[in-house]
């Protein structure tokens, strides 16, 4: 378990804390036409997608040798070996060919979340809210799935590589979870405006 670190790296990643508050202030005035039904459908997609992302990470760890001694292919063995895994230190030895694929996977992840938002709502403010709702739910589901399947992170102070583009974003696990929870609260607390029948 690492010591608490109040900031993410590089410095500008810390600005993500502004996104939920600024979005809420904008939505508070105009409201959102985003029904509970749409939020639930987006959340269902994001929960499943978060699990799929966590599974990919487990496969990558095993395939690249970041789970040394992984031989018996049981979940218990994966959980045991994951206790020695430190993602913030693992980006450097990552094979360059897989690093390229990982960058493309990150881009594909963002594109899928954006497409979900574009399909969910006709107006820009609802699309932004839908994207943030999907992203926050996906992010929480990702960490929950990793913890449930392989026992990582062992604590909220574990360092993680959040994204690789344009440079690695590194923060303790509590940081993206906090941003995600604040984002879900901002979308949930936004005033809902009347919507047309059938939406």
Low-confidence ranges of the chain (pLDDT < 70): 1, 65-94, 194-199
* Per-residue pLDDT, 83: 59
* Domain spans, the chain: 36-188
On whether the CB atoms of residues 186 and 132 are closer than 8 A, the answer is yes
* Per-residue pLDDT, 2: 73
CB burial readout 102-140, b (16+ within 10 A) else e: beebeeebeeebeebbeebbeeebbbbbbbbbbbbbbbb
On whether the CB atoms of residues 156 and 172 are closer than 8 A, the answer is yes
Q: How far apart are CA 155 and CA 19, in angstroms?
A: 25
pTM as predicted: 0.82
| pLDDT tens readout for residues 53-105 | 988 887 777 777 666 556 655 666 666 665 555 555 554 556 777 788 888 88
Angle between helices 124-150 and 18-30 (to 10 degrees): 140
């Amino acid at each position: 378990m690492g010591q608490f670190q109040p900031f993410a790296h590089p410095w500008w990643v810390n600005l993500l804390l502004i996104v939920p508050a600024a979005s809420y202030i904008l939505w508070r005035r105009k409201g959102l036409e985003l029904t509970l039904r749409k939020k639930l459908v987006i959340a269902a997609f994001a929960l499943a997608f978060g699990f799929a992302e966590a599974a990919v990470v487990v496969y990558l760890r095993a395939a690249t040798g970041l789970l040394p001694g992984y031989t018996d292919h049981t979940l218990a063995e994966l959980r045991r070996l994951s206790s020695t895994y430190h993602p913030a230190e693992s980006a450097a030895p990552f094979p360059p060919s897989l690093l390229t694929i990982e960058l493309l996977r990150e881009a594909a992840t963002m594109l899928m979340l954006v497409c979900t938002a574009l399909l969910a709502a006709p107006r820009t403010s609802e699309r932004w809210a839908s994207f943030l709702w999907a992203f926050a739910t996906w992010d929480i589901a990702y960490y929950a799935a990793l913890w449930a399947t392989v026992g990582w992170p062992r604590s909220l102070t574990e360092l993680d590589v959040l994204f690789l583009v344009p440079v690695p974003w590194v923060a303790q696990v509590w940081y993206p979870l906090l941003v995600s929870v604040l984002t879900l609260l901002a979308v949930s607390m936004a005033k809902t405006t009347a919507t047309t029948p059938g939406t």
